[in-house]
Structure 1
Amino acid sequence: MAGPRGDRLAGRSARAGSGGGGCCWALPTALLCAYGFFCSVRPSEPFLTRYLLGPPKNLTESQVFNEIYPVWTYSYLALLFPVFLATDYLRYKPVVLLQGLSLIVTWFMLLYAEGLRPIQFLEFFYGMGTATDIAYYSYIYSVVDVNLYQKVTSYCRSATLVGYTVGSLSGQVLVSVAGWSLFSLNVISLTSISIAFGTAWFLPMPQKSLFFHHVPSQQLGWEMKVMDCKNGSAVQDHPDVQRAPGWEDETKVPLNREGHSAEKQSLQEQKVDIIKVLKDLWQDFLQCYSSQTMFCWSVWWALSTCGYFQVINYAQGLWEMVLPSHSTEIYNGAVEAASTLLGAVAVFVVGHIKTSWAMWGEVALALFSFLIAAAVYIMDTVRNIWVCYASYVVFRIIYMLLITIATFQIATNLSVERYALVFGVNTFIALALQTLLTLIVVDASGLGLDIFTQFMIYASYFVAISLVFLGSGIYSITRAYRRQEPMQSRSPESQ
């Protein structure tokens, strides 16, 4: 996580992040965790396909799979980059509120909208809700010190994980045991999201961001000294103020209004210089992806996430075709909860595995990608609902394990300020590929293939990923051993 600019970010994060109000890290972290938890408690989500196909919606399978679900993919892709820039420019909190509002609109329409066009419009708002995830996961970095990043990230991600598990399990229990209708589950989801939206209003407003509102620490310290001098307080020994080289006593700091106004005007010009921001982003992009390790793991990230999105988006459709929900009890909620919890365990275990990922990472990606392909193939060809459920759990566990390793590997080569850029670019590429795949395979204006043929294509897609990384891994290992041989032959022990 450390980088050439990481130390400077650490120096100003606690001072500028909370608006100079001295707000400790615990309050915004707790509020954000509460928001993430309630936003994720959506007991109706595992039963979405069943809800759309049954009364009162009564949509057809072709409408749901080929005309409605693809809208989410298209809107997510279209909104991701504008939301990325808006998140930084608006300083996170407004976009977090936009996410909550988008999800409220989504579930309100899910309750009362009927017909193809309104449900497609609903999917657009859901795409906006998922595109604004970046504000949730990056907000906390603007209000806490850099040495707390790992801790608060784990708290926020754990909150969403627990919320999703609670939502899935409660949905399953309410449907199977209490006999609640799916309409009632959607009411609970809407209520939970509304609570999250109310919680988000209490989040402190950050005063800085990484690109548009990037305040250098020296300039920030100058402004703090000016303000305190005007109030008649001496801040020479204040622990939160860093002196810039060559600074003298407070009495020598220019306090005239003209100088202060010019400084503020310069700061405003810096904030709105979007051309400079885009140039900086491009330079950072080139520097980040010039690393072979970074490029390799990022390619796998983008390719596999594309396939992962497709499988989880249409898994409920596959289960519905294998065993129609109107004829028997289904356990979608329990399966989602089990796959999430077991995936979390796998993520915890992989954090304690010691291996040379630089040497064997590509081969590991190839082998595990092949296992993912096998799981998807079994889901598609063995028309047994319990086998489908089990294969889905295995699929999610392996993906969550590998994406965690990829995150570790990418993070070790990044400064903190480049996190959002690299992860955003990887996600954007994944969505671009998914959009292309959806347009060709799923969309009614393309091939509009049935669900079983779609999953056969997804299995073949992961096989292709496996072959690419197997070839690349064998080539990398061979090169590494060939480099070692001349070095060993020149060593003193061999002479």
Structure 2
Amino acid sequence: MGYWAKLKSSNWAFPTAVLSLYGFFANCRIAEPFLAPYLIGPYKNISEEVVTNYLFPIWTYSYLAFLFPVFLLTDFLRYKPLIILQGLFLVSNYVLLCFAPGLLAMVFLEITYAVATATEVAYFSYIYSVIPLENYQKATGYLRSAALFGYTFGAGLGQVLVSSAGLDYFYINAMTLGVVSVAFLTSFWLPMPQRSLFFKGRTTAVLDRQSQQEVPGRTDRPDETAAGAVDASSGKQKMERNDNAGCCSRKNVLSAGHLLWKSFRESYSSRHLIYWSLWWALATAGYTQIINYIQLMWDHIEPSATSSVYNGGVEAACSLVGAAAAFSVGYIKVNWSVWGELALGLFSAAGAGAVFLIVLTSNIWACYAGYALFKSCYMLLITITTFQIAANLSMECYALTFGINTFVALCLQTIMTLIFVDGATLGLDIVTQFFIYGIYHAVISVLFLIRGTYTACTKRSTTEPPDSLQKENMVEVIYEEPF
């Protein structure tokens, strides 16, 4: 009891611990690597063509529709309600998977899953509104690790249950329903933040400035997570009520819009940042498209109805390999301002080659290897891109830039889905789709090889390292399912 009270009184350990628990259980989706075999199999009995050309595109369109409104709503409602909403929709998804028959129910499932995916921004943004600045690095590392470990553990456990215990896919989904229900209940323990990035009332901003001046590194905290704030709680609560009363005022909305525009201009004022953001958007669009449809490619090469399925084991192994590749970035002593764009081109070329291997092989293990290589290259490069962008931006610009880059990536992904995947247009088969994705990544690699070669030749190797290198050893493991 003493340890629990001490944890709750901490100004950062308690919210970080609770959110890490939530991240673990929310990502420990045991059945996710086996979604395509479950939909195609006897329980749902949906054809591969319908899943590929009709059902899965619904998630992409819905995700695009929800992402930007949810991004603004997340900040406006101060994160916690959106985290609770994500937990609720994850529960509803597996209720539908387990108990709802028919194609219409699966259409509704894709829409609700799009909401759950869009609200992931709240998971990674929440912690910055409730902990001091000096704890950002530790907290972010814990959250990334919790999400990664949850996904890896869930995928590995699913593989063991399917291969060794011979457990039916239905029971795997039922177990996942129980796990995400724990995540949903855990979300209620999170302290409610008292500030947001953009929708700040006047009193909240004053409190922020006072706390920064009087106690460096300290931020306003909820009463239940900051025992030291009890003496001043009455006055702060009164000011907070006044702040909440005016948060929806026209003046505050206009102020938020002005701050968003100012942050946008700052984020894309540098040509260097624009190039990194361009790679982010282009590569993430192709990456998300591939991880969304890879299970169908595996099922095409070796049908799950007649063969053993190792999707869970492959996903778990890929996550660990990709995480190791991303983690290694922090120990590579490279002047990324000179060689970074060339690295984007080289590793994008390796990723394109991996996609072509997936397309051209008829051996499932070669296909698995190609997927592992592709995912590792992406995780390595997205880590470099992340800290290159974040190192040069304030927190407001950091969040906005990542949100805009993800939105642009989703727009590109939606265009690809609409043209190549949707049955109402070309409705291409899965092999042809992946061949096009290989060409797409090859084009990205060529563009950045040209740009990177030009940058490396024009910049002197003796140039003073930029400020971003100071954060080189602060890179966390980046793990992204569809944001």
Normalised by the length of structure 2, the TM-score is 0.86
Which structure's CA Rg is the greater one?
A: 1
Q: Post-superposition shift, 1:120?
A: 1.1
Aligned residues of 1:72 and 1:126 also touching (Cα < 8 A): yes
Are 1:101 and 2:88 an aligned pair?
A: yes
SS at match of 2:352: helix
2:155 corresponding residue in structure 1: 168
Is the alpha carbon distance of 1:237 and 1:352 closer, same or farther for their aligned partners in structure 2, counting shifts above 3 Å? closer
CA drift of 1:268 comes to 3.9
Deviation string for 1:303-361 (max 9, x for gaps)?
A: 00000001100000000000001111110000000000111111121110010111111
Q: Deviations over 1:345-382 (max 9, x none)?
A: 11121110010111111111111111100000000011
Matching of residues 226-375 of structure 1 within 5 Å: 268-269=245-246, 272=249, 273-375=252-354
Which residue type is aligned with residue 133 of structure 1? Answer: E
Q: Distance in 2 between matches of 1:337 and 1:463?
A: 27
| Structure 2 residue matching 1:101: 3-state secondary structure | helix
- Residues 213, 271 of structure 1: 8 Å contact kept: no
Q: CA separation in 2, counterparts of 1:429 and 1:335? A: 29
| Farther-moved stretch of structure 1 (322-331 vs 279-288) | 279-288
**Runs (5+) with no aligned partner, structure 2:** 1-7, 221-234, 464-483
Give 3-state SS (helix, strand or coil) of 2:384's partner: helix
Q: Which residue of 1 aligns with 2:410?
A: 431
Conservation of the 8 A alpha-carbon contact between 1:108 and 1:190: yes
Structure-1 separation of matches of 2:215 and 2:402: 40
In structure 2, the residue matched to 1:118 is 105
Partner deviation per Cα, 1:201-237 (whole Å, 9 max, x = no partner): 011111111111355677227999xxxxxxxxxxx99
Cα 1:238–1:337 shift into 2, 3 Å: closer
Distance 1:482 1:355, change over 3 A: closer
Within 1, Cα distance between the matches of 2:44 and 2:397? 44
Deviation at 1:191?
0.5
In structure 2, give the amino acid aligned to 1:434.
Q
Any idea what the Cα deviations from partners look like across 1:89-128, whole Å, max 9, x if unmatched?
1111000000001111111101122222210110010010
Aligned-residue offset at 1:271: 5.4
* Equivalent residue number for residue 489 of structure 1: none
- In the alignment, which residue of structure 2 is the partner of 1:129? 116
CA distance in 2, matches of 1:304, 1:39: 25
The change in CA–CA distance for 1:357 and 1:263 in structure 2 (over 3 A counts) is closer
Q: Which amino acid aligns with 1:330?
A: V
Q: 1:214 touches 1:271 (CA, 8 Å); kept in 2?
A: no
Which residue identity does 1:116 align to in structure 2? L
Alignment TM-score, normalising by the size of structure 1: 0.84
1:357–1:177 distance in 2 versus 1, CA, 3 Å: same
1:269 partner letter: G
Find the counterpart in structure 2 of residue 72 from structure 1. Answer: 59
**Equivalence for 2:171:** 184
1:158 aligns with 2:145: yes
Post-superposition offset of 1:72 = 1.0
2:378 is matched with 399
Contact between 2:131 and 2:219, CA under 8 Å: does it hold in 1?
no
CA RMSD of aligned residues (A): 2.6
- Separation of aligned partners in 2, 1:222 and 1:377: 54
- The 1:62–1:263 alpha-carbon spacing in structure 2 relative to 1, beyond 3 Å, is closer
Distance in structure 1 (CA, Å) of the matches to 2:16 and 2:238:
35
After TM superposition, give the deviation of residue 478 of structure 1 in Å: 3.4
How far is 1:475 from its partner? Answer: 2.4
SS at match of 2:139: helix
User: Do the aligned residues in 1 keep the contact of 2:263 with 2:396 (CA within 8 Å)?
Assistant: no
Gaps of at least 5 residues in structure 1 are 1-20, 225-235, 243-256, 485-495
Deviations 1:142-188 (A, max 9, x none): 11001111110000110011100110010000000001000001011
Asked whether the 8 Å contact 1:362–1:473 carries over to 2, the reply is yes
Q: 1:263 to 1:398 in 2, by over 3 A?
A: closer
CA contact (8 A) 1:70 1:438 kept: yes
Pairing of 1:8-47 with structure 2 (within 5 A): 24-47=11-34
CA distance, structure 2, for counterparts of residue 455 and residue 262 of structure 1: 56
In structure 2, C-alpha distance between the alignment counterparts of 1:195 and 1:117, rounded to whole Å: 27
1:170 and 1:471, CA in 2 relative to 1: closer, same or farther beyond 3 A?
A: same
Give me the whole-angstrom Cα distance separating, in 2, the residues matched to 1:349 and 1:98.
35
Taking the aligned partners of 1:263 and 1:80, their CA distance within structure 2 comes to 29
Q: What amino acid is aligned across from residue 201 of structure 1 in structure 2?
A: F
- C-alpha separation between the residues in 2 aligned to 1:114 and 1:384? 34
